[in-house]
Amino acid sequence: MRWATLAAVVCAAGLATGCGLAPGHGGLRFALYFPVTAHSTPITGRVFVFISRRGTPEPRLEPSGYTGDTPFFATDVNRLQPGNVVIVDDTARGFPLARLAQLPAGDYYVQGLMNVYTQFARSDGHVVWLHRDHWEGQHLATSPGNLVSPVMHVHLDPAHGQAVTLALNRVLPPVAMPRDTAWVKHIKIQSPMLSRFWGHAMYLGATVLLPRGYAQNPHRKYPVVYVQGHFTLRPPYGFTTHPTPPSPRRAQFMKVLGIESGYQFYQAWNSPGFPRMILVTFQHPTPYYDDSYAVNSVNDGPYGDAILQELIPYVETHFRIIRKPSARMLTGGSTGGWESLDLMVKHPDFFGGTWTFYPDPLDFHHFQSVNLYRDRNAFVAPNSDPWLPAPRYMMREPDGQPLVTYQQMSQDEAALGTHGRSGEQLDIFFATFGPIGADGYPVPLWNLHTGAINPQAVAYARAHGYDITAYMKQHWATLGPKLIGKIHVYVGDMDSFYLNLGVYGLQNFMESTQHPHYAGTFVYGRPEKPHGWNGGMTNAELMRQIYAAVRP
């Protein structure tokens, strides 16, 4: 349908105000609006159009970005009134196609989505608009309160003038909270520290897995393992008392990594000779990501303090935990791997040891495949031929085949959100490690459009202790004696995100230490072990190893 005809239909039906927003001549465009019945007040946020060749699942739920093949295009909206139209056209940012005009002609299923932002008047004086997590873990496609349109099947051809109207008339429902069981308990508390910083009620949570016999032994106290990782409401290690066959993809993943199913973990956990301890996972989503990295940050606020001074004391006073450093253990993988090591290094008098797996960059000389201290550009390898610039990769197959470049992932996040609001990995690196800008939003470590590295932002990250290896070097005289026997690091030699490189940097330093000398425990999965490699142990075997180090 041509724009003139479409506009007449929309206006005549009373579906939208602002009908004078004619988009000009030619070109493919989408006209999106939300009715007052869906949202009665103006919205500041980001509007998306997802375009898929498949009808199911809904396009917004299909894999997109650097891990999927569903194109999307997006643009910001500022105080958009109910009924007013916003246009997504060739000026919108997209991924994996940069522009809507690049979309091949064909039949598609399309769906609109509005990611709703909240205004935060923070205690640092900055007023910013960000997506407020609703206990879904910063997943814009499923976040409660976001608006979505019905799925439309339509023929699209960017070479011809065409406008498609999408009514954002459905509000996504609240998250269904899991119920407590005899084994698993859920905690959600308001954080006074974070609420003061953000000017809104902010929450922390935990999922607690109890040992066999906990209720029958009311006077017994137990060691605790704090399991770090991304936001989830599931029990630690997928614990379940019901056998559930894994999907073929999950089964292959388990086979490659050598880990067990959640039901198999339950069988070990419930067995007569299994060590009795308490496992705890945390929930600490931020307005920038599903996880705060468990540190204080000028952009994110005092999450480190809130976890240590509010959440952990709450857990340890509501469950019978041995409140001694030698009975508090840490573990985690990826983001949780970085967190587990950082918590151990920054708080060596509080925790008794860490079993850290495939951690995010521990040494910024190896920020995955980029040297943030030496390189000038994150997209292109240094000293490559200017006529044949070699791209920098940040994701690969276990056999070494490169998959995703820094430029592609940066383009993805730039399309997902401006001002660091993608809700994804690079932007949380910037929000956690980097300084704050005059506008109140994070200063990125590199420009998402050009790849130019910001040396001032990198220097800030190092000076504030986010390069863990550099921090350990600076403080080894006092840290070293407190870390003896407490650091155990595991990573595949072909980690999918090149994270083994940062582990090499930490190991090289620790092997050179004097007074005291401490090499740590470093285990590398060979051959070709990818991201997620768990040291060749099942989760139950890991728990036995951790328990053996407890000194209550």
Asked if residues 448 and 414 have their Cβ atoms less than 8 Å apart, the reply is yes
Distance between CA atoms of 30 and 545, rounded to whole angstroms? 56
Tell me: pLDDT of 49 over 60.
yes
How far apart are the C-alpha atoms of 409 and 396, rounded to whole Å? Answer: 13
Q: Sign of dihedral through CA atoms 21, 46, 140, 205?
A: negative
Strand partners, 464: none
For 349-371, b where at least 16 C-beta lie within 10 A, e where not — what string? eebbbbbbbbbbbbbbbbbbbbe
Give the model confidence (pLDDT) of 449-497 as tens digits. Answer: 999 999 999 999 999 999 999 999 999 999 999 999 999 999 999 999 9
The pLDDT score that the predictor gives to residue 348 is 97
HSE toward the beta carbon, residue 29, CA cutoff 13 A: 25
- One DSSP character per residue, 11-55 reads HHTT--B-TT----SSSEEEEEE--TTT-SS-EEEEEEEEEES--
Cα–Cα distances in angstroms (integers) from residue 522 to residues 226, 431, 525, in the given order: 20, 29, 10
Q: What is the pLDDT of residue 26?
A: 58
pLDDT band at 295 (very low <50, low <70, confident <90, very high): very high
Which burial class, exposed, middle or buried, applies to 175 when counting CB atoms under 10 A from its CB (0-12, 13-18, 19+)? middle
Which residues have C-beta within 8 Å of that of residue 389, sequence separation ≥ 6?
380, 381
CA distances from 340 to 160, 220, 226, 331, 550 (A): 54, 27, 8, 6, 16
- Diameter of the chain by CA atoms? 81
pLDDT computed for residue 66 by the predictor? 66
Decide if pLDDT at 318 tops 50.
yes
pLDDT at 15 exceeding the cut of 60: no
pLDDT of the residue at 161: 86
Check whether 369 has a pLDDT greater than 50.
yes
Asked, as a colleague might, if the bond just before 382 is cis with ω within 30 of 0, I would say: no
Is the pLDDT at 6 greater than 50? The verdict is no
Of the pLDDT bands very low, low, confident and very high (cuts 50, 70, 90), residue 67 is: low
Yes or no: say if 343 and 354 are a contact pair by the CB < 8 Å rule. yes
pLDDT tier at 140, thresholds 50, 70, 90: very high
- Using the predicted structure, report yes or no on whether residue 17 has a pLDDT greater than 60: no
**544 sits in which H/E element:** helix 539-548
pLDDT at 257: 82
Query: Which tokens belong to 375?
Result: 């390189």
Output 252 or 309, whichever has higher pLDDT: 309
Rounded Cα distance between 346 and 307, Å, is 13
**Per-residue model confidence (pLDDT) at position 290:** 97
The neighbouring-strand residues paired with 459 are none
pLDDT digits (tens, 9 = 90+) for 244-281: 888 888 888 788 888 899 999 999 999 999 999 999 99
Q: Give me the phi and psi of 260, to 5 degrees please.
A: -100, 170
Token couple for 216: 């029958």
What does the pLDDT average to over 372-390?
93
Q: How confident is the model at residue 160 (pLDDT cuts 50, 70, 90)?
A: confident
What residue type is 431 in one-letter code? A
Determine the distance from the C-alpha atom of residue 280 to the mean position of all C-alpha atoms in its chain, rounded to a whole number. Answer: 19
- Whether the per-residue pLDDT at 3 is higher than 60: the answer is no
What's the confidence (pLDDT) of residue 392?
96
Q: What is the mean pLDDT of residues 193-213?
A: 98
pLDDT band at 23 (very low <50, low <70, confident <90, very high): very low
Is the predicted pLDDT of residue 306 greater than 60, yes or no? yes
Report the Cα–Cα distance between both ends of the chain, in Å, rounded.
73
Q: What percent of the chain has pLDDT over 70?
A: 94
Contact 443, 430 (CB under 8 A): yes
- Would you call 539 exposed, middle or buried from its count of C-beta atoms within 10 A (0-12, 13-18, 19+)? buried
| Predicted confidence band of residue 22 (pLDDT cuts 50, 70, 90) | very low
Q: Is the pTM of this model over 0.85?
A: yes
Q: Domains, the chain, ranges and CATH?
A: 3-171 (2.60.40), 184-363+467-548 (3.40.50.1820), 370-463 (no CATH)
Q: 385: pLDDT confidence band, cut at 50, 70 and 90? A: confident
Residues listed for the chain: 552
